[in-house]
Amino acid sequence: MENTIPTILLVDDDIELCNLLAEYLSGEGFEAVTSHTGQDAITCIQSNPTISAVVLDIMMPGMSGLEVLRQIRPQSDIPIIMLTGRGDDIDRILGLEMGADDYLGKPCNPRELVARLRAILRRTHNQISNSPDQPLQLHGITLRISALSVHVNDNQLNLTSAEFNTLQLLLQKAGHTLSKQLLTEAVLHRKLEPYDRSIDVHISRLRQKLSAEGVGDVIKSVRGIGYQMVTE
């Protein structure tokens, strides 16, 4: 029988903070496991297939959270929320560019962390349980929602959860301009914050991955509004 309790991996060298967050998550219906070094986190992710999502501190001694991201992303598309210092915009952008799904500033509000986790897990669950079998196809891109797969001219494209959802929405609304506010709410399940570049970075990564497969200039920037998947 499938375990319905999501398992969250908390990665932070602050042991006390990890224990406090783990206790809070347990009270909110999650199972929490902790790692206090980057290498231990990588080992845990690789050896524990029941982990549903990772909360990863960027600033850790030794192996940083960014290095963990760099090593994990080629192997796994597990949802990752990174914890960054308030105002550390460079680390946030780097983390998103390296494949993090979302970020939360430290010190984080446990209630907001729970809301982000539920949103990211609901997004993943909805892809599987509420998805039609009819694929979305355009520009040589084939996105199958039920299979959580994307192929470009028969080559599989590895996307994070946020990238997959962004591409799905752009394909479903091809020819229409989608605002950053709409994309943020639909993809990340939160309001667009001032100076928030999360969607911009996810779009940038999508463009890079599509371009690497020979599909270029299909996601158009509409100045001051958002983005559009062109139809021609």
Shared-domain flag, residues 120 and 182: no
- Judge whether residue 21 has pLDDT over 90: yes
Write down the pLDDT at residue 229.
Answer: 95
Sign of CA dihedral 202, 52, 23, 61: negative
Give the tokens for residue 4.
């319905």
Residue 32: CB atoms within 10 Å: 19
User: Is residue 65 included in any domain, yes or no?
Assistant: yes
User: Which residue from 125, 129, 199 is spatially nearest to 167, judged by alpha carbons?
Assistant: 199
Last residue of a domain, one of 73, 92, 127: 127
Rounded distance, CA 223 to CA 48, Å? 44
String of DSSP letters for 89-116: HHHHHHHHHTT-SEEEEESPPHHHHHHH
DSSP 9: E
Give the tokens for residue 135.
């694929």
Shared-domain flag, residues 222 and 144: yes
How confident is the model over 180-191, as pLDDT tens digits? 999 998 888 888
- Judge whether residue 129 has pLDDT over 50: no
Peptide bond into 61 cis (omega under 30): no
Residues 6 or more apart whose Cβ sits within 8 Å of residue 204: 97
Report the mean per-residue pLDDT for the chain: 88
Peptide bond into 49 cis (omega under 30): no
Residue 161: CB atoms within 10 Å: 22
CATH number reported for the structural domain that contains residue 52 in this entry: 3.40.50.2300
CA angle 198, 201, 202 (to 5 degrees): 85
Residue 228: CB atoms within 10 Å: 18
User: Is residue 2 included in any domain, yes or no?
Assistant: no
Shared-domain flag, residues 18 and 102: yes
How confident is the model over 153-186, as pLDDT tens digits? 889 999 988 899 899 999 999 999 999 999 998 8
